[in-house]
A and B are shown apart, each in its own frame.
Chain A
Amino acid sequence: MKARQQRIALIVGGLAVLGIAAALVLNAFQSNLVFFFSPTQVATGEAPKDRLFRVGGLVKEGSLSRDADGVTVRFVITDTVKDMTVAYKGILPDLFREGKGVVAQGKLGADGLFVASEVLAKHDENYMPPEATKAINDAGSREINEKAAHTLKQ
């Protein structure tokens, strides 16, 4: 019985030490594990300069426009506090919508324009039929804002 209890203690203790070690390592890598920065983080200088990084947020309503060349699109990424203008030359993913989540990878120019080389749509965790979405939209903009804030928080 004694040896068995020792083995239990060894396993539990080993797992605890391992868990703490993993927590510390992950905590140290916190900033590197971030998939994207928010426009506010970019404004406060947390995002890397002269290097590719990703910006995430919502596509501002009514901000999507196409340049005269027909392939460059411009839109504004917002986290409802700060805005960032993004220029992107390429095909936008299916789920790219105004008011929905988006993640753009690229470089920040000196003029404050973010030139993206890749644009990914970020889906939220809500799955519902079109009728339900319509009902929510009809219920007023308050819920939309709440949902938008929730999408950002993830």
Chain B
Amino acid sequence: MNNGLLNWFKFASPQSFYPLAGKMIPWFWALAAVLGAAGLYIGFFVAPTDAQQGEGYRIIFLHVPAAWMSMFIYLVMAFWAAIGLIYKTRLSGMMASALAPTGALLTLLALWTGAFWGKPMWGAWWVWDARLTSELILFFLYIGFIALQAAIDDPRRADKAGAILALVGAVNIPIIYFSVKWWNTLHQGASVSLSKSPSMATTMLWGMLLCALAFWMYSIAVALMRVRSIILERERGTEWVRQRLTSAAR
């Protein structure tokens, strides 16, 4: 192992990750605020009205970033779960638990904003098409992960059980993403994808991408805050936490 790799592994220990996360959080909050303000400004004041949907289309500035992040966070959660199972690092399980509530929140936001858009545009709050149903399953996977971990008292066993659920559920992510391609769905196809140029006006696209970045930064910031409290809770018996807490109290 070279030195670079060794340094990197140093932060796999909760004790050294805790202060690092503390230093990073304000930066991610600042980025989220700046990008979010820029994205929402472009989205609501600069981007033109859509030819078909009128002003109602502006829900995409929240809906699409929330839906993207809901899938992406699940993949990151599954990644940490796999690392935790393979390397048996304590921090990996904590990261997975810290990401789950944010993922669930964004999934709910995607479903909710989608319903608000669907009623006027489609004529229905909800339809059981493949895209909507698989996204709802994603929400249940997040809730199931949180519930399963909460039901097991021993944190190491809770991490293990949660990790297996997270990995099994990862199968759902490609299903959500490709559902609009594989089946006839009411939900429209992807406007933005890696394989073709985006089928939307440039300013609309910029607003959406900035909002997506803002959601991303927000997710990192809250996940780091959450993982810090999980570290304190789980490592409360250790010397470094006791020292930190007593020095903070003084």
* Interfacial residues, chain A to chain B (CB-CB below 8 A): 4, 7-8, 11, 14-15, 18-19, 22, 26, 30, 33-38, 56, 91-97, 100, 103, 118-133, 154
Minimum CB–CB distance for B238 against chain A, Å: 25
Assess the A125–B188 pair: CB atoms within 8 A: yes
B86's partner among A7, A19, A154 (CB-CB below 8 A) is: A7
B199's partner among A38, A120, A126 (CB-CB below 8 A) is: A126
6 A/B residue pairs, CB under 8 Å, sorted by A: A22-B171, A35-B129, A123-B188, A129-B49, A129-B51, A133-B51
Given contacts A35-B183, A132-B51, contact A95 B171 (CB under 8 A): no
| Bound Cα distance A130, B49 (Å) | 7
Which A residues touch B120, using CB under 8 A? 93-94
Which B residues touch A100, using CB under 8 A? 52
Given contacts A4-B87, A103-B186, A122-B188, contact A127 B204 (CB under 8 A): yes
Assess the A11–B82 pair: CB atoms within 8 A: yes
B190 located at the interface, meaning its Cβ lies under 8 Å from any Cβ of chain A in the complex: yes
Interface size class of B (residues with CB under 8 A): 35 or more
Assess the A120–B127 pair: CB atoms within 8 A: yes
Assess the B188–A33 pair: CB atoms within 8 A: no
| Bound Cα distance A129, B124 (Å) | 25
B27 located at the interface, meaning its Cβ lies under 8 Å from any Cβ of chain A in the complex: no
Interface string of B163-201 (1 = CB under 8 A from A): 000011011000100001111111011110000000111
Q: Which of B36-82 contact A (CB under 8 A)?
A: 48-54, 56-57, 60, 82
Assess the B53–A123 pair: CB atoms within 8 A: yes
Which A residues touch B86, using CB under 8 A? 4, 7-8, 11
Minimum CB–CB distance for B52 against chain A, Å: 6
Minimum CB–CB distance for A20 against chain B, Å: 10
Which B residues touch A124, using CB under 8 A? 188-189
Assess the B184–A56 pair: CB atoms within 8 A: yes
Main DSSP-derived SS at the A contact region: mixed
Assess the A35–B186 pair: CB atoms within 8 A: yes
| Bound Cα distance A141, B87 (Å) | 60
Assess the B122–A95 pair: CB atoms within 8 A: yes
B85's partner among A11, A133, A154 (CB-CB below 8 A) is: A11
Which A residues touch B199, using CB under 8 A? 125-127
- Chain B: which residue is nearest A133 at the CB level? B51
Assess the A122–B201 pair: CB atoms within 8 A: no
| Bound Cα distance A97, B197 (Å) | 26
- Chain B: which residue is nearest A35 at the CB level? B129
Which A residues touch B49, using CB under 8 A? 129-130
Minimum CB–CB distance for A26 against chain B, Å: 7
| 5 additional A-B residue pairs with CB within 8 Å, beyond A93-B123, A133-B51 | A19-B171, A35-B130, A95-B121, A127-B204, A129-B48
- Chain A: which residue is nearest B203 at the CB level? A129
Which B residues touch A122, using CB under 8 A? 122, 186, 188
Minimum CB–CB distance for B223 against chain A, Å: 23
Which A residues touch B201, using CB under 8 A? 127-129, 132
